[in-house]
Structures are given as C-alpha cells and as structure tokens.
Amino acid sequence: MAESTKKKVLLLLYPGFNILDYAGPYEILQKTGEGNVLEVKVAAESEITTSTEGAHVKRDVALDDALIAKLHEFEMLVVPGGDSGPGTYLDSKSIDDPLRRVITAYAGLSSACSGESPRILLSICTGSLLLGVLGVFNGRYCTSHWGAYDKLKERVAEAAVRTEQTPATVIPARFVDSGLNGNGVRIISSGGISCGMDASLHVVRLLFGEQEAINTAGLLDYAWHKTDGVVFDS
C-alpha cells in the first residue's frame, strides 16, 4: 500500500512516558498488514523525549498548537502512560498545555477521516489520567493501571464537576472500548503497561478484522488476551 493511502496514527510523548506503553502499541500498529496499512507518527514538544526508564525517542512531528490544524489527517490518536508520581507530567491536573489541547481537540473532531470507520482515541495505562482530567471519559466506562484507579477516579470526578457532566466509571479490565462519543470518536482505554498491546490488537480487529489481529499477534509471538477486554455498544 502506498504511503499516501495508509491510515495515519499519531502517538503523543511527554517526559517520563513508559517505554512499553509506547513501544508495544507502536510495534503492533506498525507491523499490522506487514507494515503496509498503518503509518505511525510520534509527536512531542521536544526533539528528543526521555522515558521513565531512560530511553530517548526522537519525534517525527512537533507537538504544538499548530498540530491541531492537522489532526483531521489522523485516523487514530494514542496516548501512552508513564510515571504518575509527585512532580511528574502525569501528576499535573493542568488542562491547558499543548499535549492536553491536542487530546481535547481530537476528541472533538467530527466524522471519520476516511469515511469508512470512526476515529479512535486510545489511552494506554496511566495515559488515562490525561483523558480523565480533560473530561474525555465523562459518562463513559474506562480503565487504567490498577495502581492508578483511585487517582483516575479522582480525576474523572473533578472533570465531571468542572464540565457539569456525568462522571466516568472506572472498571478493572485489560482494555475498555466505551464506544463512540458524541462526535463519533471511539474512546478506548487500556489497563497497565502490557494491556496496551491487547487494546492495540483490538483496534486492529476493528479496522482490519479479527484474522489480521491474529496474524499480527502471531508475527510478534504475543498471546493476545482478546477476551479480557470490555466492549460497549456504540
């Protein structure tokens, strides 16, 4: 498949992201269809972003307000988790910085990029804290790393008060597909770290069918926990 016809995926990075939260979904999405159907681009504010483990990743795209005007080009937005301890990026309850503005703008996009399938907004592990504080999960079900359940419950409750909406419900699962939001964007969240691979394979199943997801899992020699997620009707 030509580069111009591949579905485009945007993956956001920030200081202290978890390397497997990034690399697991990246590997699965990039290898789907033998690398011929999805194009994954990494966006970050800095040229080089350092993970909580000390790995350095170079961005493809600058993560700034100018990126918002280009979000309509992407079929999917992926938000990995990371260290959410005191003083970290994820610990902040800010709703107004470039990365958070990009998430908010993407959740508000209308209609599918290709006209064939809904856009997808996927949080991995504690990346859910970003969607939670922004109100993306309002009135929906969501999940996160088990160690962040209480913090996520706090974030979604505060977001519901600020936006005068119904709070989200946090549940344990390897991934939660809560269906389409009011703009037609599918909202998916994964449990901790390795669960992001199961959520990513669920996305592959949605976009290209179950056999392609099975093929991709097999290529990576990964045991897909496909029945350990929770899927709600759109």
**Can you tell me the distance from the alpha carbon of 170 to that of 230, in angstroms, rounded to the nearest whole number?**
12
Q: What is the pLDDT of residue 2?
A: 54
Does residue 1 have a pLDDT over 60? no
| Residue 143: strand, helix, or coil | coil
CATH number of 3-231: 3.40.50.880
Q: What is the pLDDT of residue 233?
A: 78
Q: Average pLDDT in the 48-57 region? A: 98
Scored b (16 or more CB within 10 A) or e, 94-105 reads ebeebbbbbbbb
Domain ranges in the chain are: 3-231
Q: Average pLDDT in the 143-160 region? A: 98
**Can you tell me the distance from the alpha carbon of 27 to that of 85, in angstroms, rounded to the nearest whole number?**
27
Give 33's contacts (C-beta < 8 A, 6+ positions apart). 1, 208, 212, 216
Confidence at 23, pLDDT banded by 50, 70, 90? very high
Q: What is the pLDDT of residue 116?
A: 72
pTM: 0.95
